Structure 1
Amino acid sequence: MDLYSLIQMLRGLLLKRPFLERTSLRRSQTLRLLRALIAYLPSQQHRVLGLLLLISIVVGIGDLVFVGLVAKLVGSFSGSDLANNVPFIRVFGGDALNRGLWIVAILLALIWISTALKFASKLIEVRVSADIWAVFGNRVYSNLILQGYDYYKDTSSITLLTRLNRVLSKVSDNIVIPMLSIVSNILSSGILALGVVVAFGWIAIAVFGLLTISYVLASHFISPRLRFLTSQQYIYKSKVNQILIESTRSIRDIHLHGAENYFINRFGAIGTQGKRYDRLLKLLPDIPRFVIEPAGVTVLFGLGLLPPLLSGGGTDSVRDALPALIGVVFASLRLAAPMQSVSKSVNKLRGSLPDLEDALSLLELAPVRYAFQSELPVTPAGIMPRHTIKLSNVSYSYNESSGMALSDVDVTVPVGARVALVGSTGGGKTTAAHIMLGLLTPVEGELLLDGVSLQRNELQAWQKCCAFVPQNIKLLDASVRGNVAFGVDDDDINEDRLWECLEMAQLAEFVSELPYGAFTKIGEDGMLLSGGQRQRLSLARAFYKQAQVLVLDEATSALDNKTESEVMEALELIGRRCTTIVIAHRLSTIRYCDRIYEFNHGKVVAYGNYEQLQNRSSSFRELVELQDL
Structure 2
Amino acid sequence: MIFHKIKSAFSVFGQFWGILSGKFRLQFVLISLAIVAGALLETFAVSVLLPFIQALLTPEELMRSSYMRPLVAFFRIKTTGSFVLFVSLGVVALYVVKNLYQVLSNYWQGKFRTNLQGYVSSTILKSYLHRPYSFFIANNSSALLRNVIGDANGIMTCVISMFSVITTVFIVFFMFIFLFVTNFTLALGLLLSALLVLLVPVFVLGPPLRDAGDNLRAMDSVCYKYCSQAFQGIKEIIVSHKESFFAEEYRKAYKKKNVYDVKVCVLGRLSANIIETVCISALILIVAISVVSGKALSEAMVAELGAFAMAAFKLLIAFSGLSTSFNDFIVQYAALSSAYEHLAGMELLPDEAPAEPLSFDASLEFKGISFAYETNKAHEVLHDVNVRIQKGDVIGIKGASGAGKTTFVDILLGLLQPSSGSILIDGTALTKQNLQSWLKKLSYVPQAAYLLDESIRLNVAFGVPEDKIDDAQIQTVLKESMLSDYVDSLPARENTVVGERGVQMSGGQRQRLSIARALYTNPEVIIFDEATSALDESTEKEIMESIDRLIGHKTLIIIAHRLSTLKKCNKIFEVKDGTVSVSEQT
Output the TM-score relative to the length of structure 2. Answer: 0.91
Please tell me whether the aligned partners of residues 392 and 554 of structure 2 are also in contact (alpha carbons under 8 angstroms): yes
Distance 2:409 2:308 in 1: 77
- Which residue is equivalent to 1:617? none
Distance 2:360 2:88 in 1: 86
1:426 aligns to 2:437 (yes or no): no
Please tell me whether the aligned partners of residues 364 and 426 of structure 2 are also in contact (alpha carbons under 8 angstroms): yes
Displacement of 1:164 after TM fit? 0.6
Displacement of 1:225 after TM fit? 2.3
Q: 1:49 aligns with which of 27, 31, 53?
A: 31
1:58 aligns to 2:40 (yes or no): yes
Please tell me whether the aligned partners of residues 419 and 581 of structure 1 are also in contact (alpha carbons under 8 angstroms): yes
- Which residue is equivalent to 1:395? 370
1:595 aligns to 2:571 (yes or no): yes
- Does the C-alpha gap of structure 1 residues 225 and 88 become closer, same or farther in structure 2, counting only changes over 3 Å? farther
RMSD (CA atoms):
2.7
Q: 2:358 aligns with which of 383, 386, 406?
A: 383
1:162 aligns to 2:138 (yes or no): no
* Equivalent residue letter for 2:129: I
Distance 2:94 2:585 in 1: 92
- Which residue is equivalent to 2:272? 289
Deviates further, 359-368 or 461-470: 359-368
Please tell me whether the aligned partners of residues 275 and 319 of structure 2 are also in contact (alpha carbons under 8 angstroms): no
Aligned residues: 580
Deviates further, 400-409 or 51-60: 51-60
Q: What pairs up with 1:441-590 in 2 under 5 angstroms?
A: 441-590=417-566
Please tell me whether the aligned partners of residues 210 and 331 of structure 2 are also in contact (alpha carbons under 8 angstroms): yes
Q: What pairs up with 1:104-503 in 2 under 5 angstroms?
A: 104-172=88-156, 174-311=157-294, 313=295, 316-317=296-297, 319=299, 321-364=301-344, 366=346, 369-370=349-350, 373-374=353-354, 377-378=355-356, 382-401=357-376, 403-503=379-479
- Does the C-alpha gap of structure 1 residues 71 and 397 become closer, same or farther in structure 2, counting only changes over 3 Å? farther
Distance 1:218 1:148 in 2: 42
- Does the C-alpha gap of structure 1 residues 79 and 579 become closer, same or farther in structure 2, counting only changes over 3 Å? same
- Does the C-alpha gap of structure 1 residues 70 and 204 become closer, same or farther in structure 2, counting only changes over 3 Å? farther
Distance 2:204 2:560 in 1: 63
Please tell me whether the aligned partners of residues 272 and 323 of structure 2 are also in contact (alpha carbons under 8 angstroms): no
Displacement of 1:329 after TM fit? 0.9
Please tell me whether the aligned partners of residues 45 and 128 of structure 1 are also in contact (alpha carbons under 8 angstroms): yes
Please tell me whether the aligned partners of residues 92 and 99 of structure 1 are also in contact (alpha carbons under 8 angstroms): no
Displacement of 1:510 after TM fit? 1.9
Please tell me whether the aligned partners of residues 305 and 318 of structure 1 are also in contact (alpha carbons under 8 angstroms): no
Displacement of 1:468 after TM fit? 0.7
Displacement of 1:431 after TM fit? 0.9
| SS of residue paired to 1:427 | coil
The one-character-per-residue Cα deviations of 1:498-538 (angstroms, maximum 9, x if unpaired) are: 23322222222222222322111111111122222222211
Please tell me whether the aligned partners of residues 286 and 344 of structure 1 are also in contact (alpha carbons under 8 angstroms): yes
The one-character-per-residue Cα deviations of 1:449-491 (angstroms, maximum 9, x if unpaired) are: 1122122111111101000111122111111111111112233
Deviates further, 433-442 or 27-36: 27-36
Deviates further, 324-333 or 408-417: 324-333
| SS of residue paired to 1:49 | helix
- Does the C-alpha gap of structure 1 residues 34 and 68 become closer, same or farther in structure 2, counting only changes over 3 Å? farther
Please tell me whether the aligned partners of residues 64 and 191 of structure 1 are also in contact (alpha carbons under 8 angstroms): no
Please tell me whether the aligned partners of residues 372 and 457 of structure 1 are also in contact (alpha carbons under 8 angstroms): no
Structure 2 gap segments, 5+ residues each: 73-77
Structure 1 gap segments, 5+ residues each: 1-18, 612-629
| SS of residue paired to 2:125 | helix
Please tell me whether the aligned partners of residues 59 and 118 of structure 1 are also in contact (alpha carbons under 8 angstroms): no
Distance 1:367 1:505 in 2: 40
* Equivalent residue letter for 2:8: R
Displacement of 1:578 after TM fit? 1.2
* Equivalent residue letter for 1:223: G
Distance 1:101 1:591 in 2: 100
Please tell me whether the aligned partners of residues 24 and 116 of structure 2 are also in contact (alpha carbons under 8 angstroms): no
* Equivalent residue letter for 1:421: I
Distance 1:54 1:287 in 2: 28
- Does the C-alpha gap of structure 1 residues 434 and 372 become closer, same or farther in structure 2, counting only changes over 3 Å? farther
Distance 1:518 1:286 in 2: 56
Distance 1:367 1:35 in 2: 18
- Which residue is equivalent to 2:11? 29
Please tell me whether the aligned partners of residues 62 and 68 of structure 2 are also in contact (alpha carbons under 8 angstroms): no
- Does the C-alpha gap of structure 1 residues 297 and 54 become closer, same or farther in structure 2, counting only changes over 3 Å? closer
Distance 1:419 1:536 in 2: 20
